[in-house]
Amino acid sequence: MLVRFRQKDDRLQVRLVRRVAGRVRQERLTNLGAITLPPSVADRLAFWRGLHERLAKLSHRVDTETHAKILTAIHARVPIVTAAEQRAIS
């Protein structure tokens, strides 16, 4: 399983895909969410909450190692909200 990002206008879409029969072709498994660019702290917070809910629904298809790889790939493009940032918006 791979995470694919697609930027369309001012939004970044995040999808979970898999290779089809080891070829370059890919099959989209699910949309993991979208976020406006540039993301505000509130946007990132809402995105990550929704992402964790969507991944929880896929727990029967995604093992813990793959789950960690997915979160790492997404964190590289959409940083997780830190505790200091959460306190600043509260």
pLDDT tens track for 27-62: 888 999 999 999 999 999 999 999 999 999 998 989
Q: Which residue stretches of the chain are H helix?
A: 41-57, 64-77, 83-89
More confident residue, 5 or 90: 5
Residue bearing tokens 């999808």: 15
Q: Smallest Cα–Cα separation from 4: which of 37, 36, 27, 22?
A: 27
The pLDDT value recorded for residue 26 is 82
Residue 14 pLDDT level (bands cut at 50, 70, 90): very high
